[in-house]
A and B are shown apart, each in its own frame.
Chain A
Amino acid sequence: MSELADRQREARRRAMLPGGPRDAVIAAAKWVLPLASVALFAVLVILPMTATQEFSFLLSKDSAARAGERMRMQEATYRGETANGESFEIVAESGVQKTSAVPVVMLSGLSARLDQQQGPATVTAPAGEFFIEENRLVVDGPVIARSASGFSLDGNAIEVDINKNQVRTSEPVSGTLPMGQFSANAFAADLQGRTVSMTGGVKLRITPNRTVG
Protein backbone atom coordinates (compact mmCIF):
# COMPACT_ATOMS: atom_id res chain seq x y z
CA MET A 1 0.00 0.00 0.00
CA SER A 2 1.21 3.55 -0.56
CA GLU A 3 3.30 5.25 2.01
CA LEU A 4 0.73 8.02 2.40
CA ALA A 5 -2.02 5.51 3.09
CA ASP A 6 0.22 3.76 5.61
CA ARG A 7 0.88 7.00 7.35
CA GLN A 8 -2.83 7.86 7.47
CA ARG A 9 -3.71 4.47 8.93
CA GLU A 10 -0.91 4.83 11.47
CA ALA A 11 -2.34 8.17 12.49
CA ARG A 12 -5.82 6.82 12.84
CA ARG A 13 -4.58 3.82 14.87
CA ARG A 14 -2.73 6.12 17.19
CA ALA A 15 -5.82 8.26 17.53
CA MET A 16 -7.82 5.21 18.46
CA LEU A 17 -5.45 4.09 21.15
CA PRO A 18 -7.08 4.38 24.59
CA GLY A 19 -6.29 7.67 26.25
CA GLY A 20 -5.86 9.27 22.85
CA PRO A 21 -7.41 12.63 21.83
CA ARG A 22 -10.62 11.00 20.64
CA ASP A 23 -11.15 9.38 24.07
CA ALA A 24 -10.55 12.74 25.67
CA VAL A 25 -13.24 14.29 23.54
CA ILE A 26 -15.60 11.49 24.44
CA ALA A 27 -14.79 11.75 28.10
CA ALA A 28 -15.30 15.47 28.06
CA ALA A 29 -18.53 15.06 26.14
CA LYS A 30 -19.75 12.58 28.67
CA TRP A 31 -20.25 15.32 31.30
CA VAL A 32 -20.44 18.39 29.09
CA LEU A 33 -23.44 17.33 27.09
CA PRO A 34 -25.78 16.43 30.04
CA LEU A 35 -24.77 19.62 31.75
CA ALA A 36 -25.53 21.59 28.61
CA SER A 37 -28.98 20.03 28.34
CA VAL A 38 -29.75 20.83 31.97
CA ALA A 39 -28.60 24.38 31.45
CA LEU A 40 -30.73 24.66 28.33
CA PHE A 41 -33.74 23.32 30.30
CA ALA A 42 -33.15 25.91 32.96
CA VAL A 43 -32.95 28.69 30.45
CA LEU A 44 -36.13 27.66 28.67
CA VAL A 45 -38.26 27.00 31.72
CA ILE A 46 -37.03 28.91 34.64
CA LEU A 47 -35.71 32.05 33.06
CA PRO A 48 -39.17 33.48 31.86
CA MET A 49 -40.58 33.04 35.35
CA THR A 50 -37.84 34.90 37.02
CA ALA A 51 -37.64 37.44 34.28
CA THR A 52 -37.33 40.85 35.98
CA GLN A 53 -38.26 42.87 32.99
CA GLU A 54 -42.07 42.61 32.29
CA PHE A 55 -42.46 41.75 28.71
CA SER A 56 -46.26 41.23 28.66
CA PHE A 57 -48.56 44.12 29.59
CA LEU A 58 -52.01 44.25 31.15
CA LEU A 59 -54.52 46.81 29.96
CA SER A 60 -55.05 48.65 33.23
CA LYS A 61 -58.62 49.74 33.49
CA ASP A 62 -57.99 53.17 34.85
CA SER A 63 -55.25 54.26 32.59
CA ALA A 64 -56.78 53.21 29.28
CA ALA A 65 -59.00 55.92 27.76
CA ARG A 66 -62.56 54.81 28.67
CA ALA A 67 -65.58 56.38 26.96
CA GLY A 68 -67.72 58.29 29.47
CA GLU A 69 -70.99 57.02 28.10
CA ARG A 70 -72.39 53.95 26.63
CA MET A 71 -73.44 55.66 23.43
CA ARG A 72 -73.19 59.22 22.15
CA MET A 73 -75.01 60.28 19.01
CA GLN A 74 -74.99 63.55 17.15
CA GLU A 75 -78.18 64.25 15.18
CA ALA A 76 -79.77 61.22 16.83
CA THR A 77 -82.93 59.80 15.31
CA TYR A 78 -84.93 57.17 17.12
CA ARG A 79 -87.78 55.43 15.34
CA GLY A 80 -90.20 53.24 17.14
CA GLU A 81 -93.76 52.04 17.27
CA THR A 82 -96.27 52.68 20.00
CA ALA A 83 -98.19 49.92 21.71
CA ASN A 84 -101.05 50.30 19.26
CA GLY A 85 -98.84 50.31 16.24
CA GLU A 86 -98.52 54.01 15.48
CA SER A 87 -95.05 54.83 14.29
CA PHE A 88 -93.20 57.66 15.98
CA GLU A 89 -89.84 59.26 15.46
CA ILE A 90 -87.71 61.30 17.82
CA VAL A 91 -85.03 63.54 16.37
CA ALA A 92 -82.55 65.23 18.67
CA GLU A 93 -79.49 67.40 18.21
CA SER A 94 -77.64 65.09 20.53
CA GLY A 95 -78.42 61.99 22.49
CA VAL A 96 -76.38 60.42 25.26
CA GLN A 97 -77.02 57.13 26.98
CA LYS A 98 -75.08 57.02 30.22
CA THR A 99 -74.85 53.31 30.77
CA SER A 100 -76.38 50.34 29.05
CA ALA A 101 -77.91 49.30 32.36
CA VAL A 102 -80.16 52.36 32.38
CA PRO A 103 -82.29 52.43 29.22
CA VAL A 104 -82.56 56.23 29.27
CA VAL A 105 -81.20 58.53 26.61
CA MET A 106 -80.65 62.20 27.52
CA LEU A 107 -81.68 64.25 24.52
CA SER A 108 -81.19 67.88 23.72
CA GLY A 109 -83.02 69.89 21.10
CA LEU A 110 -85.56 67.14 20.64
CA SER A 111 -88.68 66.88 18.57
CA ALA A 112 -90.99 63.90 18.63
CA ARG A 113 -93.34 63.21 15.77
CA LEU A 114 -96.22 60.79 16.10
CA ASP A 115 -98.41 59.79 13.17
CA GLN A 116 -101.99 59.21 14.25
CA GLN A 117 -105.25 58.69 12.47
CA GLN A 118 -106.23 62.29 13.15
CA GLY A 119 -102.97 63.42 11.63
CA PRO A 120 -99.43 63.96 12.79
CA ALA A 121 -98.70 65.44 16.21
CA THR A 122 -95.31 66.89 16.98
CA VAL A 123 -93.88 67.73 20.39
CA THR A 124 -90.74 69.79 20.61
CA ALA A 125 -88.69 70.66 23.69
CA PRO A 126 -85.21 71.98 24.41
CA ALA A 127 -84.14 68.99 26.46
CA GLY A 128 -85.50 65.79 27.86
CA GLU A 129 -84.98 62.19 28.72
CA PHE A 130 -86.29 59.36 26.61
CA PHE A 131 -87.14 56.16 28.50
CA ILE A 132 -86.63 53.67 25.71
CA GLU A 133 -88.49 50.73 27.17
CA GLU A 134 -91.58 52.72 28.06
CA ASN A 135 -91.61 54.97 24.98
CA ARG A 136 -91.86 57.86 27.37
CA LEU A 137 -90.26 61.28 27.28
CA VAL A 138 -89.84 63.53 30.29
CA VAL A 139 -89.01 67.01 29.15
CA ASP A 140 -88.29 70.33 30.76
CA GLY A 141 -88.79 73.78 29.46
CA PRO A 142 -91.20 75.05 26.88
CA VAL A 143 -92.94 72.13 25.21
CA ILE A 144 -94.84 72.85 22.05
CA ALA A 145 -97.36 70.26 20.91
CA ARG A 146 -98.60 71.02 17.45
CA SER A 147 -101.52 69.02 16.15
CA ALA A 148 -105.01 69.57 14.88
CA SER A 149 -105.91 71.66 17.89
CA GLY A 150 -102.46 71.78 19.47
CA PHE A 151 -101.34 73.50 22.61
CA SER A 152 -98.09 74.73 24.06
CA LEU A 153 -96.92 74.33 27.62
CA ASP A 154 -94.20 75.86 29.68
CA GLY A 155 -93.17 74.09 32.82
CA ASN A 156 -90.88 71.32 33.84
CA ALA A 157 -91.09 67.59 34.24
CA ILE A 158 -93.63 67.41 31.47
CA GLU A 159 -94.22 63.83 30.55
CA VAL A 160 -94.96 62.76 27.00
CA ASP A 161 -96.24 59.20 27.08
CA ILE A 162 -96.09 58.17 23.45
CA ASN A 163 -97.63 54.77 24.09
CA LYS A 164 -100.64 56.23 25.84
CA ASN A 165 -100.65 59.21 23.55
CA GLN A 166 -100.71 61.64 26.45
CA VAL A 167 -98.90 64.74 27.61
CA ARG A 168 -99.15 65.44 31.34
CA THR A 169 -97.46 67.16 34.20
CA SER A 170 -98.28 67.46 37.86
CA GLU A 171 -96.17 70.55 38.33
CA PRO A 172 -97.35 74.13 37.88
CA VAL A 173 -97.57 74.84 34.21
CA SER A 174 -98.74 77.61 31.95
CA GLY A 175 -99.48 77.53 28.29
CA THR A 176 -101.79 78.33 25.44
CA LEU A 177 -104.73 76.45 23.98
CA PRO A 178 -106.72 77.37 20.90
CA MET A 179 -109.13 78.89 23.40
CA GLY A 180 -106.62 81.12 25.13
CA GLN A 181 -103.86 81.26 27.70
CA PHE A 182 -104.01 79.24 30.89
CA SER A 183 -102.08 78.41 34.01
CA ALA A 184 -102.73 75.50 36.35
CA ASN A 185 -101.09 73.24 38.89
CA ALA A 186 -101.50 70.13 36.79
CA PHE A 187 -102.21 69.40 33.17
CA ALA A 188 -103.14 66.33 31.18
CA ALA A 189 -104.02 66.13 27.53
CA ASP A 190 -103.96 63.66 24.73
CA LEU A 191 -101.24 64.40 22.24
CA GLN A 192 -103.74 65.67 19.74
CA GLY A 193 -105.11 68.11 22.28
CA ARG A 194 -108.57 66.67 21.73
CA THR A 195 -109.22 66.54 25.46
CA VAL A 196 -107.34 68.77 27.84
CA SER A 197 -107.84 68.81 31.60
CA MET A 198 -106.26 71.28 33.92
CA THR A 199 -106.62 71.12 37.65
CA GLY A 200 -105.56 73.12 40.65
CA GLY A 201 -106.26 76.85 40.73
CA VAL A 202 -106.79 77.04 37.01
CA LYS A 203 -106.80 80.42 35.32
CA LEU A 204 -107.88 80.65 31.73
CA ARG A 205 -108.16 83.79 29.65
CA ILE A 206 -110.46 83.08 26.74
CA THR A 207 -109.90 85.41 23.86
CA PRO A 208 -113.15 85.35 21.87
CA ASN A 209 -112.68 85.59 18.18
CA ARG A 210 -111.38 89.04 17.51
CA THR A 211 -111.85 88.68 13.81
CA VAL A 212 -115.65 88.49 13.99
CA GLY A 213 -116.84 91.79 12.56
Chain B
Amino acid sequence: QGITTSALRGLDNKAPIDVDADRIDVLDQQNQAIFTGNVRVRQGNLTLEADRIKVAYSRPAKGDPVIQRLDADGNVRLATPSERATSRFGIYDVDKRILTLIGNVVLTQGTTKVQGNRLTIDLASGRSTLDGKTSTGQPGSRVSGRFAVPDRK
Protein backbone atom coordinates (compact mmCIF):
# COMPACT_ATOMS: atom_id res chain seq x y z
CA GLN B 1 0.00 0.00 0.00
CA GLY B 2 1.86 3.02 -1.24
CA ILE B 3 2.27 6.16 0.79
CA THR B 4 3.51 9.44 -0.53
CA THR B 5 7.15 9.28 -1.49
CA SER B 6 9.45 10.23 1.34
CA ALA B 7 11.48 13.41 1.31
CA LEU B 8 14.45 11.18 1.95
CA ARG B 9 14.52 10.35 -1.71
CA GLY B 10 18.06 10.54 -3.03
CA LEU B 11 19.55 10.83 0.44
CA ASP B 12 23.28 10.81 -0.02
CA ASN B 13 24.43 7.84 2.00
CA LYS B 14 27.95 9.18 1.94
CA ALA B 15 27.08 12.45 3.60
CA PRO B 16 28.62 12.88 7.05
CA ILE B 17 26.62 11.35 9.86
CA ASP B 18 26.36 13.49 12.96
CA VAL B 19 25.80 11.58 16.15
CA ASP B 20 24.87 12.88 19.58
CA ALA B 21 24.76 10.44 22.46
CA ASP B 22 25.45 10.13 26.16
CA ARG B 23 28.08 7.53 25.51
CA ILE B 24 29.90 6.09 22.52
CA ASP B 25 31.98 2.94 22.62
CA VAL B 26 34.08 2.21 19.57
CA LEU B 27 35.18 -1.42 19.35
CA ASP B 28 37.63 -1.19 16.54
CA GLN B 29 38.40 -4.89 16.47
CA GLN B 30 34.76 -5.75 15.80
CA ASN B 31 34.49 -2.74 13.49
CA GLN B 32 31.59 -1.58 15.57
CA ALA B 33 30.54 1.51 17.44
CA ILE B 34 27.76 1.54 20.00
CA PHE B 35 25.94 4.72 20.89
CA THR B 36 23.88 4.62 24.07
CA GLY B 37 21.67 7.13 25.88
CA ASN B 38 19.26 9.38 23.93
CA VAL B 39 21.07 8.85 20.72
CA ARG B 40 20.37 11.10 17.76
CA VAL B 41 21.80 10.38 14.35
CA ARG B 42 21.42 12.89 11.55
CA GLN B 43 22.41 12.49 7.95
CA GLY B 44 21.17 14.99 5.45
CA ASN B 45 17.49 15.54 6.28
CA LEU B 46 17.13 12.17 8.04
CA THR B 47 17.03 12.19 11.81
CA LEU B 48 16.93 8.91 13.64
CA GLU B 49 16.65 8.83 17.43
CA ALA B 50 16.75 5.82 19.72
CA ASP B 51 17.93 4.63 23.11
CA ARG B 52 20.74 2.67 21.51
CA ILE B 53 22.23 2.58 18.03
CA LYS B 54 24.90 0.19 16.89
CA VAL B 55 26.96 1.08 13.84
CA ALA B 56 28.76 -1.57 11.84
CA TYR B 57 31.47 -0.36 9.53
CA SER B 58 34.20 -1.87 7.46
CA ARG B 59 37.71 -0.57 7.34
CA PRO B 60 39.33 -0.54 3.88
CA ALA B 61 43.10 -0.86 3.94
CA LYS B 62 43.48 2.90 3.87
CA GLY B 63 41.06 5.71 4.05
CA ASP B 64 38.02 6.26 6.17
CA PRO B 65 35.69 3.59 7.47
CA VAL B 66 32.77 2.60 5.26
CA ILE B 67 29.55 2.67 7.27
CA GLN B 68 27.63 -0.49 6.54
CA ARG B 69 24.54 -0.23 8.66
CA LEU B 70 22.97 1.27 11.76
CA ASP B 71 20.81 -0.81 14.09
CA ALA B 72 18.61 1.20 16.40
CA ASP B 73 16.60 -0.22 19.26
CA GLY B 74 14.49 1.19 22.06
CA ASN B 75 11.78 3.76 21.18
CA VAL B 76 13.11 4.53 17.75
CA ARG B 77 11.90 7.82 16.25
CA LEU B 78 12.39 8.78 12.66
CA ALA B 79 11.93 12.35 11.53
CA THR B 80 12.16 13.59 7.99
CA PRO B 81 10.75 16.71 6.36
CA SER B 82 7.89 14.61 4.93
CA GLU B 83 7.03 12.18 7.72
CA ARG B 84 7.56 11.04 11.24
CA ALA B 85 7.56 7.47 12.49
CA THR B 86 8.07 5.63 15.72
CA SER B 87 8.86 1.95 16.25
CA ARG B 88 10.69 -0.44 18.52
CA PHE B 89 13.54 -1.22 16.16
CA GLY B 90 15.08 0.51 13.20
CA ILE B 91 17.66 -0.56 10.63
CA TYR B 92 19.34 1.86 8.30
CA ASP B 93 21.23 -0.15 5.71
CA VAL B 94 23.51 2.58 4.44
CA ASP B 95 24.98 0.36 1.81
CA LYS B 96 21.69 -0.66 0.19
CA ARG B 97 20.16 2.71 1.13
CA ILE B 98 17.11 1.10 2.76
CA LEU B 99 15.62 2.29 6.05
CA THR B 100 13.43 -0.22 7.89
CA LEU B 101 11.39 0.32 11.04
CA ILE B 102 10.02 -2.74 12.79
CA GLY B 103 7.71 -3.37 15.73
CA ASN B 104 4.43 -1.42 16.19
CA VAL B 105 5.35 1.20 13.66
CA VAL B 106 3.29 4.38 13.69
CA LEU B 107 3.85 6.49 10.60
CA THR B 108 2.48 10.00 10.36
CA GLN B 109 2.57 11.82 7.05
CA GLY B 110 0.89 15.14 7.15
CA THR B 111 -2.56 14.33 8.51
CA THR B 112 -2.55 10.63 7.70
CA LYS B 113 -1.48 8.31 10.46
CA VAL B 114 -0.85 4.69 9.66
CA GLN B 115 0.13 1.84 11.91
CA GLY B 116 1.73 -1.41 10.95
CA ASN B 117 4.48 -3.72 11.81
CA ARG B 118 7.12 -2.93 9.30
CA LEU B 119 7.93 0.23 7.39
CA THR B 120 10.57 0.24 4.71
CA ILE B 121 11.74 3.38 2.96
CA ASP B 122 13.87 3.01 -0.13
CA LEU B 123 16.12 6.01 0.05
CA ALA B 124 17.00 5.84 -3.61
CA SER B 125 13.41 6.15 -4.83
CA GLY B 126 11.90 7.55 -1.69
CA ARG B 127 9.18 4.88 -1.91
CA SER B 128 8.00 3.82 1.52
CA THR B 129 5.83 0.79 2.10
CA LEU B 130 4.13 -0.12 5.33
CA ASP B 131 2.88 -3.61 5.72
CA GLY B 132 1.33 -5.59 8.44
CA LYS B 133 3.80 -8.38 8.30
CA THR B 134 4.79 -9.44 11.77
CA SER B 135 8.40 -8.79 12.54
CA THR B 136 9.18 -12.32 11.34
CA GLY B 137 7.98 -11.31 7.89
CA GLN B 138 4.79 -13.47 7.43
CA PRO B 139 1.59 -11.60 6.64
CA GLY B 140 -0.29 -11.36 9.89
CA SER B 141 -1.44 -8.38 11.79
CA ARG B 142 -3.55 -5.99 9.87
CA VAL B 143 -2.55 -2.57 8.83
CA SER B 144 -4.86 0.03 10.29
CA GLY B 145 -4.97 3.55 9.20
CA ARG B 146 -6.94 6.68 9.69
CA PHE B 147 -7.10 9.14 6.88
CA ALA B 148 -8.32 12.59 7.55
CA VAL B 149 -9.86 14.01 4.43
CA PRO B 150 -8.70 17.56 4.13
CA ASP B 151 -11.93 19.66 4.16
CA ARG B 152 -12.39 21.46 0.90
CA LYS B 153 -12.82 25.10 1.21
Contacts and interface: CB of A to CB of B under 8 A. Distances in A.
B23 A208 contact: no
Given A195-B27, A196-B25, A180 B63 contact: no
Interface in B1-59: 13-29, 33, 35, 55, 57, 59
Interface in A188-213: 193-212
A182 interface: yes
Given A206-B55, A208-B17, A195 B28 contact: yes
A149 B29 CA distance: 10
Contacts of A179: 26, 33, 57, 64-65
A95 to B, nearest CB: 33
B114 interface: no
B66 interface: yes
Contacts of A177: 26
A91 interface: no
A208 B18 contact: no
Interface residues of A, number: 27
B64 A210 contact: yes
Q: Is the interface of A mostly helix, strand, loop or mixed?
A: strand
A109 interface: no
The number of chain B residues touching the other chain, given as a range, is 20 to 34
A211 B94 CA distance: 15
Nearest to A177: B26
A201 to B, nearest CB: 7
Nearest to B21: A202
A205 B19 CA distance: 6
A149 B61 CA distance: 11
A209 B64 contact: yes
B60 interface: yes
B79 interface: no
A181 to B, nearest CB: 9
Contacts of A184: 24
A205 B24 CA distance: 12
Nearest to B66: A209
Contact of A149 (B13, B18, B28): B28
Interface in A117-163: 149
Contact of B20 (A195, A196, A199, A202): A202
Nearest to B15: A208
Given A178-B59, A179-B57, A179-B65, A208 B22 contact: no
A40 B1 CA distance: 132
25 contacts: A178-B65, A180-B16, A194-B28, A195-B29, A196-B26, A197-B23, A197-B26, A199-B23, A200-B22, A200-B23, A201-B22, A202-B21, A202-B35, A203-B20, A204-B19, A204-B21, A205-B16, A205-B18, A208-B13, A208-B16, A208-B17, A208-B64, A209-B63, A210-B14, A211-B60
